[in-house]
């Protein structure tokens, strides 16, 4: 990695970090997840920088980088050479303060944003009193009765005409408990109780619509762009604090390890991807899960440097 220490301001001005947050760049995501795995003490700073950049991304009328550069140049000229030396000693603190002030001035009426980092869950309460449990590596934005999700979240409580948006689906909610998963143009909705209505949107605008009843699960992906009703299995075991897999293909187990825990998975055997695995572990202890997989498949799994898992 390029360095061991970053302030919030340095993270927010780092081109690679911005590519991860604003452009969903996979190479940048891998870079920062590996850095965070090596420096977990900076989780809070990363979460703060991630959240602020997510909010800044929503703004279309705020100051551009060119505007900010011009403002800095004028400010430098006014201060003069002697004060400029003192100002540069306070660059990191001033940058953080400027961004916080900018956020307050420009985004008072924008969406509120809440994010979780790697291997982190969080329960939040929406203005209508309903609760949302966010899984790891998830971003939730809300404004009024509209919610936007990237990642995975479980909704419960009394929802009053709530509408949940993803890049490929809209879910209209009427007093219910449900789980929604949205990553990499793959969406899954599981209804536990109540009623929801789902519509194709964005990249899946032609997918149609469906009403769901309790116990049903609908899947939508970019390949078919069609809604498919599937068996829920142990899909939402995570909200109870455990990872549970029942006859699950290893490539799906690997996807959870990558998306929620920041691992980078490499496959030397494509046939192993379709092998089935059953097992469970506490949400905060993947070592148990990795040991179980290694035992079942005769040590064909190894954990290497930089948070990398190799399936032989």
Per-residue pLDDT of the chain (312 residues; tens, 9 = 90+): 467 778 887 888 888 888 888 877 888 888 888 888 888 778 878 887 887 777 666 554 444 555 445 545 554 555 454 444 444 544 555 555 555 555 554 544 577 899 999 889 999 988 878 899 999 999 999 988 899 999 999 998 776 678 999 999 999 987 789 999 999 889 999 999 888 899 999 888 888 899 998 989 999 988 888 888 887 777 788 888 888 999 999 999 999 999 999 999 999 988 899 999 999 899 889 899 999 999 898 889 999 988 899 998
Does CATH place domain 241-311 in 3.40.309.10?
A: no
Cross-strand bridge partners of residue 146: 143, 163
Q: Using an 8 Å Cβ cutoff, are 113 and 51 in contact?
A: yes
Domain ranges of the chain: 8-106, 115-230, 241-311
Between CA 130 and CA 140 the distance in angstroms is: 14
Between CA 256 and CA 276 the distance in angstroms is: 15
Q: Using an 8 Å Cβ cutoff, are 135 and 170 in contact?
A: no
Q: 306 by DSSP, 3-state: which? A: coil
Q: Using an 8 Å Cβ cutoff, are 148 and 141 in contact?
A: yes
pTM for the predicted model, two decimal places: 0.62
Cross-strand bridge partners of residue 277: 248
Question: Cα-Cα-Cα-Cα dihedral of 193, 198, 202, 204, to 10°?
Answer: 110
Domain 115-230, CATH number (from 3.40.50.150, 3.50.50.60, 1.20.1630.10, 2.60.120.1440): 2.60.120.1440
For residue 18 the two structure tokens come to: 């911005």
């Amino acid at each position: 990695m390029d360095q061991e220490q970053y302030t919030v301001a340095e993270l927010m001005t780092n081109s690679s970090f911005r590519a991860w947050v604003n452009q969903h760049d996979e190479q940048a995501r891998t870079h920062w997840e590996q850095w965070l795995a090596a420096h977990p003490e900076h989780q809070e700073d990363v979460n703060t920088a991630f959240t602020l950049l997510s909010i800044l991304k929503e703004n279309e009328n705020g100051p551009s980088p060119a505007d900010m550069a011009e403002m800095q140049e004028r400010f430098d000229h006014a201060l003069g050479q002697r004060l400029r030396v003192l100002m540069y000693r306070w660059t990191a603190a001033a940058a953080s303060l400027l961004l916080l002030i900018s956020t307050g001035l420009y985004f008072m009426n924008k969406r509120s944003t809440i994010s979780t980092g790697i291997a982190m869950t969080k329960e939040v309460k929406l203005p209508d009193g309903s609760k949302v449990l966010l899984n790891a590596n998830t971003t939730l934005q809300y404004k009024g009765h509209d919610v936007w999700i990237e990642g995975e979240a479980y909704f419960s409580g009394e929802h009053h005409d709530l509408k949940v948006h993803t890049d490929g689906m809209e879910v209209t909610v009427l007093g219910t408990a449900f789980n929604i998963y949205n990553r990499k143009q793959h969406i899954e909705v599981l209804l536990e109780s109540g009623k929801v209505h789902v519509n194709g949107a964005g990249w899946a605008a032609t997918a149609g619509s469906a009403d769901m009843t309790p116990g049903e699960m609908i899947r939508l992906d970019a390949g078919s762009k069609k809604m498919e009703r599937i068996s829920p299995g142990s899909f939402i075991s995570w909200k109870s604090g455990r990872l549970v897999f029942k006859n699950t293909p290893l490539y799906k187990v690997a996807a959870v390890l990558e998306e929620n825990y920041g691992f980078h998975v490499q496959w030397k055997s494509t046939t192993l991807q379709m092998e089935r695995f059953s097992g469970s572990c506490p949400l905060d202890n993947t070592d148990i899960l990795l040991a179980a997989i290694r035992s079942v498949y005769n040590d064909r799994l190894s954990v290497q440097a930089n948070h990398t898992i190799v399936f032989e």
